[in-house]
Amino acid sequence: MARELELKYGCNPNQKPSRIFMKEGELPIQVLNGRPGYINFLDAFNSWQLVKELKAATGLPAAASFKHVSPAGAAVGLPMDETLKKIYFVEDLELSPLACAYARARGADRMSSYGDFIALSDECDVQTARLIAREVSDGVIAPGYSHEALTILKEKRKGTYTVVQMSERYVPAPIEQKDVYGITFEQGRNELVIHGGMLQEMPTVNQTIPEEAKRDLLIALITLKYTQSNSVCYAKGGQVIGVGAGQQSRIHCTRLAGSKADIWYLRQNPKVLNLPFRPDIRRPDRDNTIDVYISDDFMDVLGDDVWSNYFTEKPEALTREEKRAWLDTLTGVSLGSDAFFPFGDNIERASRSGVQYIAQPGGSIRDDHVIATCNKYHIAMAFTGIRLFHH
């Protein structure tokens, strides 16, 4: 391992020179293939911390899909039913627990995951490598790679795909620094360990959170720890289903994450599952077309002169009424927030996307209004007492 690594450029091509380096000791990574850039490593190191903590909290292999220093998705390696396999386009693959974790992480928001950086908590096996090989992605970080998995990944993108190996023994310094406008900022690292004990203070009438929902709340909170603030995260079934990141207003986070959760669930509607796609349509084009189909202006965008480019026959539209009726069947969703909810409107919006369990710091002068709104919808809410801002 080396002490420093020269990069192609910084955030933009005009920002040269660019490098990563250690002030003391050697870098805890090895680049096994490709030539990673500045943003690649920002994604890699943030996502690695996320999956490492997810595995520690759940005991399951974990994966994350990162874009521009925030997760598009994160998940643990639970089995998937046939519907999830279909909407994630993995019906034809043999899936290990780690491959399931990445398929779930990628499937949370496939449009945002296009060109992602991947983090894996465990050694990359051949099943996961085969899944990665057929998706549009910039790179992957993992603690190791099987020989066959590494061979597959080295062939991706005509041999230029970035493959990074991370040392599991690495322990970062307790104090971290960064420069902004030539001025150095310094703070203690956020070493907070997120665990189930943080979900015990419950001010709502409903104080029942099932074990699966507790797991999902931990997944949401750990994901928020590495998401650009403000941020809100919806989770269900061992995976993130919607992230709202980097918004100035908390309600905008809640709406953005909620709309992504809605799209995730609408993709499971029978009309969407049975869309008559042409066999030659690429997966990214199919993803985009599904999102257009789900939108309210589908018939305007995909008129008579366009639909035949994607479908073997013109599909029947999914009406607003049908979408609302389908979304009303979504239940058991967990929601985490990186800071307190200042108004009950966040709860109103969350309830429309099946949220029944919430974890947030609490401490707002309007906590009573937020609690009352939770009680209105019989939502169980925990006050964690912890803020998870990340910048």
DSSP 275-312: --B-TT--HHHHHHHHHHHHSTTHHHHS-TTTGGGTBS
Q: Which of 33, 40, 46, 67 is catalytic?
A: 67
Query: Any catalytic annotation for residue 309?
Result: no
- Asked, as a colleague might, if the bond just before 17 is cis with ω within 30 of 0, I would say yes
- What is the tens place of the pLDDT at every residue in 29-65? 999 999 999 999 999 999 999 999 999 999 999 999 9
Q: 33: cis peptide before it, omega within 30°?
A: no
Across the range 323-333, mean pLDDT stands at 97
Conformation bin of residue 100: beta by default, left when phi > 0, alpha when psi is -120 to 50: alpha
Picking from 102, 36, 95, 46, the residue whose alpha carbon sits closest to that of residue 74 is 102
**pLDDT of residue 10 exceeding 90:** yes
- Over 90: is that where the pLDDT of 288 sits? no
Query: Per-residue pLDDT for 303 more than 90?
Result: no
Q: Where are the domains of the chain?
A: 4-171, 176-266+327-383, 270-317
**Please, are residues 257 and 232 in contact by the beta-carbon 8 Å criterion?**
yes
Share of the chain above pLDDT 90, in %: 86
The values of phi and psi at residue 259, to 5°, are -65, -35
pLDDT at 106: 96
| Structure confidence at residue 301 (pLDDT) | 63
Q: Which one from 40, 230, 269, 346 is the annotated catalytic residue? A: 230
**Torsion sign over Cα 129, 130, 133, 137:** negative
pLDDT range class, residue 292, cuts 50, 70, 90: confident
- Top mean-pLDDT range of 80-84, 282-286, 290-294, 363-367: 80-84
- Give the residue among 44, 3, 46 at the shortest CA–CA distance from 23: 3
pLDDT at 300 over 80: no
> What is each CA distance from 256 to 102, 291, 311, in whole angstroms?
22, 15, 29
Determine whether 195 is an active site residue.
Answer: no
Catalytic residue among 68, 154, 214, 252: 68
Burial annotation 75-112 (CB, 10 A radius, 16+ → b, else e) = bbbbebeeebbebbbbeebebbbbbbbbbbbbbbbbeb
Fold adopted by 4-171: Cytidine Deaminase; domain 2 (3.40.140)
**109-162 residue pLDDT tens:** 998 999 999 999 999 999 999 999 999 999 999 999 999 999 999 999 999 999
Q: Is it the case that residue 284 has pLDDT exceeding 90?
A: no
Q: What percent of the chain has pLDDT over 70?
A: 97
Is 234:220 a contact under the CB 8 Å cutoff? yes
Q: What's this model's pTM, rounded to 2 decimal places? A: 0.95
Query: Are 176-266+327-383 and 270-317 equal in CATH topology?
Result: no
Average the pLDDT over 174-184 and give the result.
94
Write down the pLDDT at residue 283: 84
* Band (224; pLDDT cuts 50, 70, 90): very high
Joined together, the tokens standing for residue 260 give: 């992504």
Residue 272, pLDDT > 80, answer: yes
| The pLDDT value given to residue 50 | 98
What pLDDT sits at residue 306? 72
- The answer, yes or no, to whether residue 305 has pLDDT greater than 80, is no
Fold of domain 176-266+327-383: Cytidine Deaminase; domain 2 (3.40.140)
Q: Residue 288 catalytic?
A: no
What was the pLDDT predicted at 258? 96
- Report pLDDT for 7: 94
Q: Does 391 participate in catalysis according to the annotation?
A: yes
* Mean pLDDT, range 221-249, rounded to an integer: 96
Architecture of domain 270-317: Orthogonal Bundle (1.10)
pLDDT, one tens digit per residue, over 70-89 is: 999 999 999 999 999 999 99
Mean pLDDT in residue range 199-225 = 97
Confidence of residue 372 (pLDDT cuts 50, 70, 90): very high
